[in-house]
Every structure is written in C-alpha cells, then in structure tokens.
Chains A and B, each alone.
Chain A
Amino acid sequence: MNGFGFRLRGLTSGYGARTILKGIDADIPAGVLTSLIGPNGSGKSTLLRALAGLQPYGGTLNLTGGEGEREVRRISRREFALLAGVVPQGFHPAYPFSVWEVIGMGRLPYRGLLGGRATEEDDARIVAAARRVGVEKLLPRPITALSGGEAQRVLLACVLAQDPPVFLLDEPTSALDPNQAARVFALLRELAEEGRTVVAVVHDINASLAFSGHYLALREGTLLSQGPMDELNGDVLQALYGTPFLPYRSERGDVMWRALAE
C-alpha cells in the first residue's frame, strides 16, 4: 500500500469567531500510528476534525502520497471516504439500527452514488470487521441498547469495513475498560504495521508510548513539539501539561511517565 500522510503549514481553524488552531506546521508520516497529545482544550479534536475535512481551515492542509499532494478541502466527501475513515468521540445514534447495519454502512463509499445494495462481499467484510474488534456477538443487537464503550468499538468496526488507508480517531479508548483499551491500541498498531496511517487523539501518555511511533504535542492551539515517540521526554511533558512528570520503569522495563500534582 502506497501510504498517505498529511502536510500542515500555517494551519488555522476555529468555530465562528473563536480561533482554536493558531498556525500549525507539522508532518504526519505515512504508515505510522501518530498520537495527538496535549491538555484539554488544546485543539486536538479540532485538528482531527480538520484532517477529516469536517472543519473549515486556513493555511495548508494537504494529503500526501498516492497521486501526489492534494488539498484536503478539494477532495469530495465521496472520494475522501475511500481514503480516510473517522471514529469520532462519543456516538449517540437516534435510531435503533442493528450493529450489523451500522458496520455495513462502512461499505457505502464502495457502492453506487445512491447507495445501491449490499453484496455477499459486503456481508463477509462486516463479519470480519466485527471479529477483529471483538463485537461479533453484538451483531444482531440494536446500537441504541449498547454501552458507550461497545458503541465506540462498533464504530471502529464500521471504519474497518470501510477499509481506508488512513484512520482518524478521536479518543478511541475514552469509553473502554483497560483490557479493551489495550486491545484497541494493539489493533491500531497492527493497522499501522499493515502500512496504514493512523492518527489518534490520546490522553493516556503511557499507552501512546507503548503503541505509537510518532507524536504531535499541542498546547493552546499551537504545536509544542513533534517527533518520533521515543523522543518524548519529561521536559516536553512538563512544558505540555504544566506539571512535572516522573519517569518510572514498567515490569517489562519500558520507560513510563507519571504526572505529579504540584
């Protein structure tokens, strides 16, 4: 798979008169799991929405790779859905679609302009995606009857069925228990190893240290630093979150960080 990445130059964005992103220069590498980290309100979700083409922006935001560089805002929704899948934060559907129907909607970009009919291949991919995320037992259940964490995993399965080269996720583990969170992180790393580009907003620094290869650290709408994950250190974390961080070693010998309240 020829990987896709993003090139950001002077990226600004916001809501109405409120500017959230104040000029970001960054490169999101292809075929890597990139973590977007930073304190609450630093603009991580806005950046993710901009990458997903949902957010009006100023400056340069280009999708790189494939047939060369292209401006995100110039890609049609239909084509973009074949390039990138998005798992938003929280999902509160109004109607009781079955889980298999929701996952099946991930196949929509591959069908005709009007949505066409599902094929046998679609059904096979629905089951495969559900298995990969571990929600196959939920397939006949209505989505409205699921817990927040289950609905979040169903949405991830929907994007797996969509099978895009780029995955964009906003706190994909926020509603998950530690076991499920670890499984989702492992899945995201697997996706990156398959050559896909994965960008996730993450609050759990240690999980992103363990699973991701690259980081973007945002503070108050600006980029504080970026780089390979192993360059993330106590100084960056302290500057980012405004509190000292203490390193410690896990039982496996990995370096981990713990925030100290001042």
Chain B
Amino acid sequence: MSNPVTQYRARQSRRAWAVGGALLLALTVTAAWRITLGEWAIPLPRVIYLLSPWLSGTERTPAEALVVRAVRLPRLLSAGGAGGLLSVAGAVLQGLLSNPLAEPYTLGIAAGAAFGGALGLLFSSLMVTPAAFAGALAALAIVSLIACRSGGTVRGGGAQLVLAGVVANAVLSAGVTFLKAIADDKLGAIVLWLMGSLSGAGMSSAAAVWGASLLVLVPALACAPLLDALSLGEGQGALLGVDEGRVRTLLLLTTSLGIAAVVSAFGIIGFVGLVVPHLLRMSVGPSHRTLLPLSFLAGGCLLSVADGVAQSMGELPVGVLTALIGGPFFCWLLVRRGGRK
C-alpha cells in the first residue's frame, strides 16, 4: 500500500533535485563565461591550467596568471558568495517574519549596515565591518519596534513592517548623505564603497563572504522545519511547539551579521534577496529545506550574471543593475499580492 503523502514527498524532492541540477549547470556555464571572457579572452583549458595549485612560482607571475588568479577568480567567488548569501538572508527573513516582502534592503537592514559602515569608515577602515554589523542590528531593532508599536506584529505584520523599512531607509540614507557631507577627504572612499560594486573584489573579501555565507546558511538549514512552522505566521510556530523567540533571535543575528559582511565588503546590492526566493517558491514550493540551498545556488548564479553584465556595460556598479531590475519586480509583487486580496 503506497501512501499518497509519501508520493507527494518523493515528487517534491525529484523536482528540487532537477531545479538544483539546472542551477548547478547554469552556475558552471556562468563561471566558465566569467573566468574566460573579459577584456582579455583566455581559453578554458588554459584557465584550468593556470588555476591548478601545482603552478610553479615563475608561472604565477605572468599577466595571464595574475588576471585569472588575482582578479577574475576572486571576483567570481565574491559574486557567487554574496549573491547566495543575500538570497538566503532574504529567504530566512521572509520565513522568520512570515512576510514575502521582507528583504535586507526593504527592511532597512542593508541601509543600517551602510550607515554604520560609513560612520566606521570616518574613523578607521578597520571599523567598517563591526560598525556595519552594529548598524544592521540597530536598524532591524528599530524597524521591528516601529512595526510593533504601529499596531502590526513583527511576524505577519505586512504593511507596517515594510512601511517602517521605508522610513528607516529614508532616514538612514539621509544619515549617509550627512556623513558624506562632513567626510572631507574620506568622501571618495565612502562613495566608492557604497556604490555596490564587485570590481575591487580580492581573495580576502571572497573568503569573508563565503565564511559569512556558511554562518547564515548552516543554522538556518539546521532548523529548516522550524522555519517552515514560523513562516505560517499568526503564532502557528509557537502552537506547534517552536521556541519562536530563541529561533528568531539566533537567525536574525546570523543573517544580520551576514548582510553586514556583504555590505562592508561590496556596498549595497539590493533586491537579490527578494527576487530569488520568490521565484524559487513558485517552482519548488516554500519548504525551507529545499528553498535555502537552492536560493544560495540561484542567488550566486544571478549575481554572477548581473556582475558580468554590469562589467560589460563599462564597469557599472552591480547594485545599480540589481536595483534597476529588482525595483520593478518588487512593484509587480506588491500589485500581485494586492490583487489577490
């Protein structure tokens, strides 16, 4: 006797594997494109040879080897890691708050990290990351507080939460402008950093982003079924025995830290965390055990492609490109949600 639920479960997992396979393929093609093409085309076999760890010291120095190892590879890894992290962070926030419009950018967390980071930069470049993290947490706390006080709840607080995010974004952007106005000789550094570009990515920033990715992905994936229950909203998580406070605190901390890591390395890259989980939910469903790893793959792929396009358009900041595409998508999402009610 076969249980229909077991069949549905198997069908769902087959579909997730198929989508995951397609994403891996897309990621491979993107990686091959990004690492071989550019101002200087280098054939793939040559790239693979140049990337091999057994390359002798003298062979590492020619310009060709430098371009691949010190410029293209870190940039590819950074784009992949940052895109993956932002998507997973978006998916986690949307689940925790039971609000499909939650995202590092819309909630003002990214703006908080930017403000904190810019403030830190005024004092020392070493202060950027810790100050960005503090800024991200503070923005999240303020937005949640406003949402609660204005009659909404943090979970399922729909309009209030997004409105509070809008306000936080506006205030914090003004704050960043203020910092720029008083920055004097550091103005250039702040502007360049906040533009949201991967053009300066090095191996150390790639490593930082990948470390932060693990920090966001691993705990979220470990409690994926709890996240499912929380994402039902309306206190369902607590009724199903989930310690909402503890799970929410842990995951908000890790995602804020991850977002701050991306912002402090590359500036604000918005909307990736909104678009990717939403599109994936339409194809593999909202279960976080599949949604989170697939979000990581898809986000990495999307930001790598966007970065490639941005670079080919004369080194446009990739944050500009994601906002140009993501903004209209966000509107479409709002309209579609409104239309259903």
Q: Which residues of A contact B (CB under 8 A)?
A: 52, 54, 76-82, 85-86, 88, 91-98, 100-102, 104-106, 108-109, 111, 114-116, 118, 120, 123-124, 126-127, 136, 139-140, 162
Most buried by A among B6, B232, B244: B232
| Contact call A139/B225, Cβ cutoff below 8 A | no
| Contact call B235/A97, Cβ cutoff below 8 A | no
Q: Tell me, in angstroms, the Cα distance from A120 to B156 when the chains sit together.
A: 32
Q: Does B315 contact A (CB under 8 A)?
A: no
Take A86-B239, A93-B233, A115-B224 as given contacts and tell me if A139 and B285 are in contact as well, using a CB distance cutoff of 8 Å. no
Tell me which residues from 204 to 256 in chain B have a Cβ below 8 Å from any Cβ of chain A.
Answer: 222-226, 228-229, 231-236, 238-244
Interface residues on B, range: 35 or more
Q: Which residue of B lies closest to A126 (CB)?
A: B5
Q: Tell me, in angstroms, the Cα distance from A76 to B242 when the chains sit together.
A: 9
| Contact call A114/B226, Cβ cutoff below 8 A | yes
Take A88-B235, A94-B156, A95-B286 as given contacts and tell me if A127 and B3 are in contact as well, using a CB distance cutoff of 8 Å. yes
Q: Tell me, in angstroms, the Cα distance from A204 to B324 when the chains sit together.
A: 54
Q: How far does the Cβ of B100 sit from chain A's closest Cβ, in whole Å?
A: 6
- For chains A and B in complex, what number of residue pairs have CB atoms within 8 angstroms? 111
Q: How far does the Cβ of A185 sit from chain B's closest Cβ, in whole Å?
A: 22
| Contact call B226/A97, Cβ cutoff below 8 A | no
| Contact call B240/A114, Cβ cutoff below 8 A | no
Known contacts A98-B8, A100-B9, A139-B8; 17 further A-B pairs (Cβ under 8 A): A52-B239, A77-B238, A77-B241, A95-B232, A95-B281, A97-B287, A98-B285, A101-B287, A106-B240, A108-B229, A108-B241, A115-B223, A115-B226, A115-B229, A123-B6, A127-B3, A127-B5
Take A123-B9, A127-B3 as given contacts and tell me if A97 and B239 are in contact as well, using a CB distance cutoff of 8 Å. no
Take A94-B98, A95-B281, A115-B223 as given contacts and tell me if A108 and B242 are in contact as well, using a CB distance cutoff of 8 Å. yes
Q: Tell me, in angstroms, the Cα distance from A91 to B156 when the chains sit together.
A: 11
Q: Which residue of A lies closest to B98 (CB)?
A: A94
Q: Which of A91, A97, A124 contacts B3 (CB 8 A)?
A: A124
Q: Tell me, in angstroms, the Cα distance from A123 to B5 when the chains sit together.
A: 6
Q: Tell me, in angstroms, the Cα distance from A106 to B243 when the chains sit together.
A: 15
Take A77-B242, A127-B3 as given contacts and tell me if A108 and B234 are in contact as well, using a CB distance cutoff of 8 Å. no
Q: Does B99 contact A (CB under 8 A)?
A: yes
Residues of chain B contacted by A78 (CB below 8 angstroms): 241-243
Q: Which of B5, B156, B228, B244 contacts A97 (CB 8 A)?
A: B228
| Contact call A109/B241, Cβ cutoff below 8 A | yes
Q: Tell me, in angstroms, the Cα distance from A97 to B244 when the chains sit together.
A: 20
Take A81-B239, A95-B286, A101-B287 as given contacts and tell me if A123 and B225 are in contact as well, using a CB distance cutoff of 8 Å. no
Q: Tell me, in angstroms, the Cα distance from A162 to B240 when the chains sit together.
A: 8
Q: How far does the Cβ of B216 sit from chain A's closest Cβ, in whole Å?
A: 16
Rank and list the top 5 A-B pairs by shortest CB-CB distance, nearest first: A115-B225, A81-B241, A95-B286, A109-B241, A123-B5
Residues of chain B contacted by A85 (CB below 8 angstroms): 239
